[in-house]
Chain A
Amino acid sequence: MKKKVIGQAGWLWTLLASVVAFIYFFPVLFIILTAFRSRSDTLATPPKWFFTPTFDNFYHIFFRSMSNSTEYVATGFHMYFFNSIYISGISVLLALLIGTLAAYGFSRHPLRGNDTYMFIILTTRMLPPIIVIVPIFLIFRITGLAGTYTGIILMYTAFNLPFSIWMMKSFFDELNTEIEDASRMDGASERSVFFGVCIPQVKAGLAATSVFALILTWNEFLFSLLLTNKLTRTMPPAMARTIGGEINVDYGLLAAMICLFIIPIFLITYILQNQLLRGVTFGTIKK
């Protein structure tokens, strides 16, 4: 007789889960396939599932032929790719650094009316961005921040801060403060209590917060569209700009861009997956 493993799902459930997973994954699969299709294949109805893959689309992201010419010139897309990585990387790191310190402060040394402060911080995220975009645009133009890396990085840092403060605070709140007291008794300074005792315990939280903030920043379109220029533009508005023009929408090209666009996020999520799993389930199960 076969021994049944307790807790293991039956084949029917496994099949059902696979089907649901496939439904979710299907759009991504479709995009990846489209990226490798030639122009005529992308437009075929019904979609062609078997075709000769081509790397033309990926090549055309970076090099494009000008009209009436066979000469290929660089599109500068690598720059937008770099901008996206640079801007979201720096702003997420900044938000994480400031947010973690602030969260620790809010958690361990509450102010009079701590909850009010926390609520005010949260309200900045309740406003739809479209409401604040006009004043921010004007401020950026007056201060000369428009179109600069500093400007957009500051913008994104401010954008991510409330989220990282709230999230990190909940992680710090969950920690056992006795351990911190114990390390004070053991002769640790306040700085080493924070860096040596608290930070290692919220590693999962740092990972989860940074991935969430990174995804938000990486996908951000509106602010980038209005506050960056030709040199500092990030991927989302750059991608949007390829829609239209002489050949309408080049779906193959767009799909190839999207493929490149999801790689960094995919890599980071993959690298941090263990920490992330613990991070997002943190606090949902009572110790």
Chain B
Amino acid sequence: MATIELQNLTKAFGDLIAVDNVSLKVEENEVLCLLGPSGCGKTTTLRMVAGLETATSGDILIGNKNVNNLDTRDRNLAMAFQFYALYPSLTVAENLANPLYADKLSDKEIKKKILEVADILQLQDIVNRKPHQLAEGEKQRVAVGRAIIRDPECFLFDEPLSRLDVQLREQMRGQIKEVLSDLKKATVIVTHDQLEALTMATKIAVMKDGYIEQTTQWNKKFTAESLIHFYIEEYDVLGETCRNGKEWNQCECC
């Protein structure tokens, strides 16, 4: 069990500052949603936590330990990717087993774990299929399964539901939420879907242009500005006027 803490995290690609001085803390048991429009730096933030991207400046602490200089595989995290990232030549069972090889478990234990996860995510019927024989929703479940099969310090989800249709999304949302509440670990979910954020998270951080605009516990309400800002890009939160210069509640364009 561990917390995730970001301190003044910044990432620049040349002149472009993708993540600007981000500080936040995810407690054990907490599910943080990074919510924001495309290109606001939320995935980059997540990748920095995972160690797939090096931070330009700032610190990442996992379980109060600075992991800035640790390789991805030494950080002991699990991540589910946006495009599932299943190994195309391996079956579902082999895909699920892959994270376990590093832990040097016996074949029997691996098999037991696979069955456990397959049971939780209802993958029993498809464990011997290859990724290209799966439907989107099934791929999605395998990707989540691969993330939760190990017992890592924390979980990271990169837009886990963005490729599913509305009906499946609703179904998966509930399923992931259920799984997460059983795991009781610090989790970061990246999404651009406010509904997803509101249903799955216990804490939401709204990101915009690389910085965190607002962090809120889900039960406390969002300020209207922040949400509107998110829904409608035109709206200028700080000045509380939209581009047309009107108050936000009187504006016709919003």
Contacts and interface: CB of A to CB of B under 8 A. Distances in A.
A200 interface: yes
A187 B102 contact: yes
B73 A184 contact: yes
Interface residues of A, number: 15
B98 interface: yes
A185 interface: yes
A178 B83 contact: yes
Contacts of A185: 50, 52, 72-73, 77-79, 99
A181 B81 contact: yes
- Main secondary structure on B side of the interface with A: loop
A182 interface: yes
Interface stretch (B85-93, B199-207, B231-239): B85-93
Interface string A184-203: 11111100000001001100
Contact of B102 (A179, A186, A197): A186
Contacts of A181: 47, 50, 52, 72, 79, 81, 85
B89 A200 contact: yes
B82 interface: yes
B13 interface: no
B87 A197 contact: yes
Nearest to A203: B89
A179 B85 CA distance: 4
Contacts, number: 56
Contact of A187 (B52, B83, B84, B101): B101
A186 B78 CA distance: 7
Interface in B61-86: 72-73, 77-79, 81-86
A189 B73 contact: yes
Interface size band for B: 20 to 34
A176 interface: yes
B52 A184 contact: yes
A15 B82 CA distance: 49
A170 interface: no
Contacts of A186: 73, 98-99, 101-102, 146
A176 B85 contact: yes
A197 B90 CA distance: 11
Nearest to B99: A186
Given A186-B102, A187-B101, A187-B102, A178 B73 contact: no
Nearest to B50: A185
User: Which interface residue of A182, A187, A201 has the most chain B CB atoms within 10 A?
Assistant: A182
Contact of B85 (A178, A187, A189, A200): A178
The CB with the most chain B CB atoms within 10 A, among A182, A184, A185, A200, is that of A185
A178 B87 contact: no
A179 B84 CA distance: 8
B236 to A, nearest CB: 35
Contacts of A178: 81-85
Contacts of A197: 87
Interface in B99-137: 99, 101-103
Given A181-B85, A185-B77, A186-B101, 5 more contacts: A181-B50, A181-B72, A182-B87, A185-B78, A188-B73
Interface of A: 176, 178-179, 181-189, 197, 200-201
**9 A-B pairs closest in CB distance:** A187-B102, A178-B85, A182-B85, A186-B99, A184-B72, A187-B73, A178-B81, A179-B85, A185-B79
